[in-house]
Amino acid sequence: MKTALVGDIGGTNARFALWRDQRVEQVRVLPTADYACPELAIRAYLAAVGQPLETLEAVCLACAGPVGGDVFRFTNNHWQLSRAAFCADLGLAQLLLINDFTAMALGMTRLHEGERITVCPGEPEPGRPRLVIGPGTGLGVATLLPLQGGGWRALPGEGGHICLPVGSEREAAIWAHLHRQLGHVNAEAVLSGPGLLALYRASCGLDGRAVTVDSPAAVTAAALAGEPYAVEVLQQFCRWLGRVAGDNVLTLGARGGVYIVGGVVPRFAEFFLASDFQQSLRDKGRMSGYFDQLPVWLVTAPYPGLEGAGVALQPLLEGA
């Protein structure tokens, strides 16, 4: 049985697992801040699970950011990687680097019962793309495309860096406040963990309120405890996620459905289900009917990025 290593590396955490017999095993989560480079993190992971380095057939790393060329610089952490130096250091013959949301999209093909919650009921339109979007340390966006004859292809992109859409006077005022601070205001500036805190601070600045919380988790906790101002901020987060998801559905023709993924939204799943997300998703004027019967799911699977990295790596292992 061939053994490979798969990794899903974000801005805050690196998730590693062994890939054997088309399954992930021995999952560990390591903070990226604790290691100077991915090679050291991988060596620490292998030592922790008792897997000798020389037994690995291949490695697939799903990385936040556009992948290409020999040197890869991670978007949201201090790591960088040279393919040639990485393979030489670890004694590897095969390294596959893919975008983290390529892996996330492929992970949607391996969801099990109970690993997604229906947000909007509907039926996937056969043969149409599916949108995968998720706030985490950043905002990831990818497309899952069904192939003739079966199977799927994941199309990576950098949709988190599109311009933040404005759909109301309040949103225009928040956007202007952020623009004075940031210049270009992309969707990720609001729709991410750090973005939630930025949204709270911008709202306080507009309304002349004192900032009383200092982390995204604290904003969420206050909202879930019923604090009215935090509730409205989190509601606005959900509205903006609906607007951005809806824009992507129209652009891609993603009538196959929408997967909401990432580490942020599942933390307030019940709030999200009752929020203005659905209304904002379809708030597209004369194109609102385009969203009739569009299914939307909130994904609660623990490690879909690792599963997707394994899916991406499997053809390489079978051809080796």
Residues placed in the known binding site for ATP: 7-12
How is residue 211 annotated by DSSP?
Answer: P
Q: How far apart are CA 170 and CA 45, in angstroms?
A: 47
Q: Which residues of 88-117 are buried (b: 16+ CB within 10 A; e: fewer)?
A: eebebebbbbbbbbbbbbbbbbbbeeeebb
Q: Which residues line the annotated binding site?
A: 7-12
The alpha carbon dihedral of 41, 42, 47, 50 has a sign of positive
The first and second tokens of residue 22, run together, are: 């088309």
CA distance to 54, 138, 189, 246, 263, per residue, from 216 (Å): 41, 13, 13, 24, 12
Q: How far is residue 190 from each of residues 27, 179, 209, 286, measured CA to CA in Å?
A: 30, 12, 19, 27
**Which candidate, 179, 204, 195, places its Cα nearest to that of 238?**
195
Residue 1 CB coordination number (10 Å): 5
d(CA 236, CA 166): 12
Q: What is d(CA 263, CA 273) in angstroms, rounded to the nearest whole number? A: 16
CA distances 12 to 4, 85, 166, 208, 284, Å, are 23, 23, 29, 32, 35
